[in-house]
Every structure is written in structure tokens, then in C-alpha cells.
Amino acid sequence: MVMHILILTGGDLDRVFARSYIQTQKFDKVIAADKGLFYAEQIGIRPDFILGDFDSCPRETVKKFEKENIMVLPREKDDTDTGIAMEQAVRMGADKVTVLGSTGTRLDHVLGNMGQLVYALKHGVEAYMVDSHNRIRAVDRPLCIDKNEQFGNYISLIPVGTVTGVTLHGFYYPLNDDTLLFHETWGISNELTEETGIVEMKTGTLLVVESKD
């Protein structure tokens, strides 16, 4: 059995997209971080754990959920809310984590949340950031993407620093044992040409961004 945890966090959230996306998934536990608690209320999800200083969440929402015997996690000063939520998900034995509300206008938080995908990967957890335009994961071993399960038409590979020995099968722009560097753009906006695309690498970590226009 795969244990799938949903983290709702405090970036921007397209509620219509979120409502429809969560219906395509089965979540075993829900963690709401800060304004993510407000989103939980709005999309009609009951969290199992809440955390944050809730400076960006209405006071009545916090009061309502606090009464419901939900475990409130401490917010440590040297970590972000999403970081604490991801640590908790790992601690709870998640095999898979989906983070909603992890994108938005504050690009430092968006990058920090991408860092949490890598943190999860290093703990053996398959984690995704999803919004209405993007589904993002971090990988450090071969990955298969089936066309019929793809999120949008584009697949971009962005190295966290440097990734060596990248070979692609079934993609429009080929790579063959190539090194990807963050400041090059070879990995951006690729497309599948076959039913299954395979991404292989030798060393390093890739952010895989599937996107819709």
C-alpha cells in the first residue's frame, strides 16, 4: 500500500483546479501549513495536522480547526512552513507526497518548495508540486513518463546544479550521455514523440517540470 500525503500550503491556489485535482487522487493524510489551512476550509478538506504561525490565515479558521482535535505542529524559525510539513510527511512514512498551494508570486518560496521535492527524494519519497499549469518532481534515477499520464504537452528537465550522463528516449529533442548545466537551456520545453519517454542520468538530480500552456 502506498501512503500518499497531501500538503496544502500557503502560496497561490486555484481552488477550481485544486478541487478537481484532489478528486483524481486518494490521500491517506492531509497536512495544512499556514494559509494552506484556509485553503483546506475553502476546498472542503479536513486536515489531520496543521502548522504555522497563521499570520496569513484568518483567525476564525484557525480556531475552528484547533477545536477539532487536530494536531498542531510547532513552526521552527529556521525552516519554512512547507519544509516542516514535508519533514512531518517523511516522519509519518509517506511514500508519495503531493503539495498544492506551493507556487505563486513569491519566487523564493517557489524555489524553496522545489528544494523540498529534493529533500523528499533523498528520503525515498516521491513528491510532486502541482498547480493548474505545472507538475514538478525531482528525480535522481531513470524515469518513465507515459504519454497518457502526462501533465500537459511539455516536459522540461532542469538540473539542480549539474547532472551528467543524461540520455532521453522517445523525446523530440534528443540527449545522449550529455551533461546538463543550470545555465543552459537544452532541457527546456521538450516533448514526447513516443508513447513512453525515458529519462536516464548518471549523477545528479533533475527537476522534471511537466507543463500546460
141 binds a copy of itself (CB under 8 A): no
SS (H, E, C) 82-150: HHHHHHHHHHCCCCEEEEECCECCCHHHHHHHHHHHHHHHHCCCEEEEECCCEEEEEECCCEEEEHHHC
Q: Give the closest residue to 102 by CA, choosing from 151, 35, 43, 195.
A: 35
144 binds a copy of itself (CB under 8 A): no
DSSP 14: -
Residues that contact a copy of itself, how many (by CB under 8 A)? 44
Chosen residue from 57, 158, 166, 201 binding a copy of itself by CB under 8 A? 158
Q: Applying CB under 8 A, which part among 19-27, 28-36, 92-100, 155-163 lies near a copy of itself? A: 155-163
Cα–Cα distance, 6 to 97 (Å, whole number): 6
The two beta strands, 49-51 and 134-139, are unpaired
Smallest separation, CB 1 to a copy of itself (Å): 27
Chosen residue from 176, 188, 196, 203 binding a copy of itself by CB under 8 A? 188
Chosen residue from 23, 69, 105, 148 binding a copy of itself by CB under 8 A? 105
Smallest separation, CB 14 to a copy of itself (Å): 10
**Closer residue to a copy of itself, CB minimum distance, 20 or 162:** 162
78 binds a copy of itself (CB under 8 A): yes
Cα–Cα distance, 44 to 30 (Å, whole number): 12
Smallest separation, CB 115 to a copy of itself (Å): 5
CB hemisphere CA count around 114 (13 angstroms) = 19
Using only C-alpha atoms, the chain has a radius of gyration, in whole angstroms, of 18
151 binds a copy of itself (CB under 8 A): no
Chosen residue from 15, 46, 106, 141 binding a copy of itself by CB under 8 A? 106
115 binds a copy of itself (CB under 8 A): yes
| Rounded alpha-carbon distances, angstroms, from residue 38 to 101, 127, 130 | 11, 22, 18
Residues that bind a copy of itself (CB under 8 A): 77-80, 83, 103, 105-112, 114-116, 118-119, 122, 131-134, 136, 154, 156, 158, 160-162, 173, 181-186, 188-189, 207, 209, 211, 213
